[in-house]
Amino acid sequence: MRTPPVRSNPVAAAFFQVLVLAASCLLPAGAWAQCLDESRQEADTEAVNPTTVRPVDPRQTLQTLVRDALERSHQVGAAKLVAEAAVDEIAETRAGKAIQASANAGLGSDGAHARHTGTESSVLQLRASITASQLLYDGGRTDRLTDWRTQLAESARHGHLTAREQLALSTVSLALERSRYRQHVVVYSQYVRKMNCLVEALGHLVRADRGRASELVQARKSLQQAELSFTQAQSQARQVETRLRRLVGDGLPGSEGLAAVLLSVPELNELVAEVERSSEIASLTAQAAALDHYARSVAAGSKPQLSWNVSGSAAVAAGGTRTNTHNGSLAVGVALNIPLMNPGVAPATDAARKRAQAASLQRAEALEARRYRVAEVHEQTLSSFDRARRVGAVLRDSEQVRNFTLQQWQQLGKRSLFDVMGAEGEHYNLRISYVNALHDGQQLNANLLSLGRGVTEWLR
């Protein structure tokens, strides 16, 4: 229930004024003025004015965090090794058309039986042979397999870039979350100091006027609530810092200036045009092209194959009925292999082509979904920054209202303590809303960049 204004009773108001003036004489000098100017003296300039110039470049801070995260990440390292392995597989496939050579050697006994000469044997025989060959023509199958491997390597390369981009986005988001909750800590610490100041001032008044003890209880309750919010903000800030340390290590830089690092929202048309430049879409494009080349290689498997080969052998025998013998051979020729019947080639080719078409459709679906996602996030970003501007305008009026309310309350009951507590609570809640809207907009802005060219490229 609202306390009726004392001014409705002139006699009571005059008597109450005497009591307050007497109590004011007991207050330390400037106690009320200090409560009135509490936020002005220790204002959070970063939250109220996000364009304040800082000595530390916030983009450089984010660059340092992202660089440390990329260097420490096992996932990024694994993606890099996968991309390098895919490049080695290209060389392996391409080597299928190079000259192939092999050598063989053997040691053992040898024996043979002929009708007229009887049985001949050697106690020890050394045999050696060497063969060389090269594929001349296979209907383009090896070339298509090489193209297939090349596109898979391209997909793996973009997969590595995607892993880097996702880690960069996570790092930037956590850095912004850390800045958000550190701003919460600052705002709630000022709220606690303001409530503590009012409690101290009311304590002096209650010593002179016991009738205001209920107001002191109310002020203490508001102080406890402010302290609870302050403790929760500290806990949330520590939790975010723990997650951030897992990515970048223990050496966390300051968060100065991060409340204003991503305020510029790109144009929607520009963002939509950059969607195809994203690593995820490029990876899907490479996968679709890889499956198309693979389908062609399967179809080429039914075509003739032409190759040349050279082989030579030599044998040395000792002991036995043959005594010591030496012999050798050399063969040079061209081999032609013509598949006549292979019923499984046609279904395998159709299956590979259908998989290639499915990959193309998946890529088109992902591209369309990403474009609409960009439009949605772009609208959310603009809305969040617009909300921040509107809350900022209300916040300026709220600063005046809370000061006027406190002054009127001090002036003998023109306002109740509930009005003062309400004005203070509303003011600090507005400051928290402003900080939230500002950081929400920046995180959405980072998501926008990630859907297009990427946060990593923006940081450069």
pLDDT digits (tens, 9 = 90+) for 244-259: 999 999 888 888 888 8
DSSP state of 460: -
Q: Name the nearest CA neighbour of 101 among 129, 79, 76, 126.
A: 129
pLDDT at 35: 64
* 296 contact partners, CB below 8 Å, separation of at least 6: 140, 144, 147
Strand order in the sheet with 100-114: 100-114, 118-137, 305-318, 325-337
**CA atoms within a 13 Å half-sphere pointing along the CA-CB vector of 179:** 31
Q: What is the pLDDT of residue 421?
A: 80
CA distance 68 to 243: 14
Residue with tokens 């409530």: 195
How far apart CA 446 and CA 91 sit, in angstroms, is 39
The mean pLDDT value for 325-345 works out to 85
Residues sharing a CB contact under 8 Å with residue 166, sequence separation 6 or more, in sequence order = 450
Residues with Cβ within 8 Å of 39's Cβ and at least 6 positions away in sequence, in order, are: 190, 194, 399, 427
Q: Is the pLDDT of residue 12 over 60?
A: no
Percent residues over pLDDT 90 in the chain: 47
The whole-angstrom separation of Cα 106 and Cα 127 is 5
How far apart CA 439 and CA 184 sit, in angstroms, is 11
Number of domains in the chain: 1
Largest CA distance in the chain: 152
Contact 327, 273 (CB under 8 A): no
Cα separation, 315 vs 313, in Å, equals 7
| Domain-located, residue 272 | yes
Q: Which residue has the higher pLDDT, 440 or 27?
A: 440
Look at residue 73 and tell me if it is in a domain: yes
* pLDDT number for residue 149: 94
> Residue 171 is encoded by which pair of tokens?
């790092």
pLDDT in tens, 270-324: 999 999 889 999 999 999 999 999 999 999 888 898 889 999 888 776 665 656 6
State the DSSP H helix or E strand holding residue 376, giving kind and residue range, or none if neither.
Answer: helix 345-410
pLDDT of 34 over the 70 cut: no
pLDDT, tens only, 400-435 = 888 888 778 777 566 677 787 888 888 999 999 999
Joined tokens for residue 70 = 């990329």
396 is a domain residue: yes
Residue 350 is predicted with a pLDDT of 93
Note the pLDDT tens digit of each residue in 146-203. Answer: 999 999 999 999 999 999 999 999 999 999 999 999 999 999 999 999 889 888 877 8
pLDDT digits (tens, 9 = 90+) for 108-149: 666 555 555 555 555 576 888 999 998 889 888 999 999 999
- Give yes or no for residue 235 having a pLDDT over 50: yes
Strand partners, 137: 306
Using DSSP's 3-state secondary structure scheme, residue 176 falls into: helix
Whether residue 391 lies inside any domain: the answer is yes
Q: The domain spanning residue 449 has which CATH number?
A: 1.20.1600.10
Which residues constitute the domain of residue 19?
Answer: 6-459
Task: Report yes or no on 1 lying in a domain.
Answer: no
Structure tokens at 92: 């392996």
Nearest 5°: the CA angle 335, 341, 347 is: 120
Tell me what pLDDT residue 8 has. Answer: 37
CB neighbour class for 242 (10 Å; exposed up to 12, middle 13-18, buried from 19)? exposed
Q: How many residues does the chain have?
A: 460
Q: What angle do CA 344, 346, 352 make, to 5 degrees?
A: 100
pLDDT at 414: 66
Is 259 contained in some domain? Answer: yes
Closest C-alpha among 106, 110, 130, 126 to residue 326: 126
CA–CA dist 194, 402 (Å, integer): 12
The per-residue pLDDT for 422 is 83
- In eight-state DSSP terms, residue 324 is S
Report pLDDT for 253. 87
Instruction: Judge whether 369 lies within some domain.
Output: yes
The structure tokens listed for 122 are: 């050697």
What single string gives the DSSP state of each residue in 56-117?
S-HHHHHHHHHHHHHHH-HHHHHHHHHHHHHHHHHHHHHGGGS-EEEEEEEEEEEEEEETTT
pLDDT beyond 50 at 448: yes
Q: Per the domain annotation, does 10 fall within a domain?
A: yes
Q: What is the DSSP letter of 323?
A: -
Q: Is this structure's pTM higher than 0.85?
A: no
Q: Which residues pair with 327 in a beta bridge?
A: 315
Q: Which 8-state DSSP code applies to residue 263?
A: -
Sequence letter at residue 251: G
How far is residue 122's CA from residue 109's CA, in Å, rounded to a whole number?
Answer: 6
* Strand spans (E) along 246-344: 305-318, 325-337
pLDDT tens track for 48-101: 444 444 457 888 999 999 999 999 999 999 999 999 999 999 999 999 889 999
pLDDT at 404: 84
* Mean per-residue pLDDT over the chain, rounded: 82
Give, for 124, the enclosing helix (H) or strand (E): strand 118-137
Q: Within a 10 A sphere around the Cβ of 119, how many other Cβ atoms?
A: 10
Contact 165, 279 (CB under 8 A): yes
End-to-end CA distance of the chain: 59
